């Protein structure tokens, strides 16, 4: 059988699934439950300056019958006493020697503040430090959170302070609230950080109550911009982890990936795009810690099917599959095909192709049939956009088959002609 054992910055864990810095990792009882369920590691909820959290603090975006495809929070770092967090983290480290425990830190932009916090964190015996440069709400006015992660100069300065003060691996958690994560990533790598983690939450407004006119989550008669997470952010997170792995500077250090991971398939995608391990939060907030069982079983079965003996065997295999648009083969072409045996004659493919695409599906009326409308692809008009396949409610009914137009040809080739 393959093994899920992984090493991130020399920190060993029995599997690549870690609990992200969040309310899930705010106290000993939560972390104990996570480790009893089988999670490989945990990043403790960010500790540092004393804060007071609000009530309420969470909101979600639902889609039809699916709850919380997007999740938002205005929660700050841990509001528990620093000493309590440090004591309980130390206890966890002693009681679970085979699991990874990383402490997430946030301090004011002062060298002494960071130096003092680093010393207290190291005394717990933790395996690494994660610098929270990403909180998108409630800390920026104090010179912390994403205001740090959006400025390469400030981020690199603080990273340098921590690297000088610490004997442990230092991980910088990047904010997605930038045009690109690469500049800040480069800056902190050049100042000596050992690794990166991404993404933190995305600044957002989850919605507005149409009766009270107050955005969610409501705190009295007001709200605030929150941090967006959950399945809806996964495509953004995958793009950013791939950008980090493709860059020659940021790819020099390992990266921990997070953002919308809900099952083993999501995790495999992050690992294929170069993450060394993954962190999970929102999915546990929806379903509980026991989801780790399906995650481990699913990933192991897939690895065995593909012939991978370890996570490292497939880590990063998809990174070089992403290129600039001008390098894509313009003569590669696909055409849709409808399996008439599977078709339920709903007509959704026809409607969207008529209204939103290239009028490449014909409707054939048959008044003698109980299903009077039949749909066929007009092959000479089909551009292979995938839209009909995407909206079809029947799995496998519409497939795309290759119909190459000629030898490989890129935009760069055309420009040279």
**Among all residues, which ones are annotated catalytic?**
135
Is 132:105 a contact under the CB 8 Å cutoff?
A: yes
- How many CA within 13 A on the CB side of residue 309? 0
Is 48:77 a contact under the CB 8 Å cutoff?
A: yes
Structure tokens at 287: 């379903």
Distant-in-sequence, close-in-space partners of 26: CB < 8 Å, separation ≥ 6: 44, 45, 78, 80, 85
Is 30:24 a contact under the CB 8 Å cutoff?
A: yes
Backbone angles phi, psi at 414, to 5 degrees: -65, -35
Q: 163 by DSSP, 3-state: which?
A: helix
Backbone angles phi, psi at 36, to 5 degrees: -65, -35
Burial, 376: exposed, middle or buried (Cβ in 10 Å; 0-12, 13-18, 19+)? middle
The closest alpha carbon to 10, from 124, 128, 159, belongs to 128
How far is it, in rounded angstroms, from Cα 359 to Cα 41?
A: 52
Q: 42 by DSSP, 3-state: which?
A: strand
For residue 306, what are the β-bridge partners? none
Cis preceding linkage at 56, omega within 30: yes
How far is it, in rounded angstroms, from Cα 114 to Cα 116?
A: 5
């Amino acid at each position: 059988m393959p093994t899920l054992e992984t090493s991130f910055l020399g920190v060993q864990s029995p599997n690549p699934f870690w609990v992200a810095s969040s309310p899930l990792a705010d106290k000993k009882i939560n972390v104990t439950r996570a480790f009893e369920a089988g999670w490989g590691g945990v990043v403790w909820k960010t500790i540092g300056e004393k804060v007071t959290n609000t009530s309420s603090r969470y909101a979600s975006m639902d889609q039809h019958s699916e709850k919380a495809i997007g999740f938002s929070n205005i929660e700050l770092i841990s509001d528990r006493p620093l000493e309590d967090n440090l004591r309980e983290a130390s206890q966890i480290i002693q009681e679970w020697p085979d699991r990874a425990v990383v402490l997430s830190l946030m301090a004011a932009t002062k060298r002494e503040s960071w130096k003092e916090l680093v010393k207290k964190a190291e005394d717990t015996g933790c395996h690494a430090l994660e610098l929270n440069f990403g909180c998108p709400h409630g800390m920026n006015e104090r010179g912390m959170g994403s205001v740090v992660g959006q400025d390469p100069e400030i981020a690199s300065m603080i990273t340098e302070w921590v690297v000088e003060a610490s004997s442990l691996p230092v991980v910088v958690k990047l904010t997605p609230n930038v045009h690109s994560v690469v500049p800040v990533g480069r800056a902190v790598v050049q100042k000596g950080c050992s690794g990166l983690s991404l993404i933190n939450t995305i600044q957002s407004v989850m919605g507005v109550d149409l009766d009270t006119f107050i955005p969610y989550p409501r705190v009295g008669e007001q709200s605030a911009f929150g941090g967006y997470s959950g399945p809806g952010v996964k495509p953004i997170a995958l793009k950013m982890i791939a950008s980090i792995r493709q860059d020659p500077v940021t790819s020099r250090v390992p990266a921990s990936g997070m953002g919308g991971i809900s099952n083993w398939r999501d995790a495999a995608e992050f690992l294929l795009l170069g993450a060394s391990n993954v962190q999970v939060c929102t999915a546990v907030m929806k379903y509980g810690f026991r989801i780790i069982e399906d995650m481990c079983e699913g990933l192991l079965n897939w690895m065995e099917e593909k012939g991978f003996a370890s996570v490292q065997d497939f880590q990063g295999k998809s990174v070089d599959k992403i290129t600039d648009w001008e390098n894509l083969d313009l003569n590669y072409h696909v055409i849709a095909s409808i399996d008439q045996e599977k078709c339920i004659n709903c007509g959704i493919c026809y409607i969207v192709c008529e209204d939103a695409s290239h009028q490449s599906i014909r409707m054939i009326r048959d008044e003698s049939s109980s299903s009077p409308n039949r749909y066929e692809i007009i092959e000479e008009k089909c551009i292979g956009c995938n839209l009909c396949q995407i909206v079809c409610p029947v799995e496998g009914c519409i497939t795309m088959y290759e119909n190459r137009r000629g030898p490989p040809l890129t935009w760069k080739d055309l420009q040279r002609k």
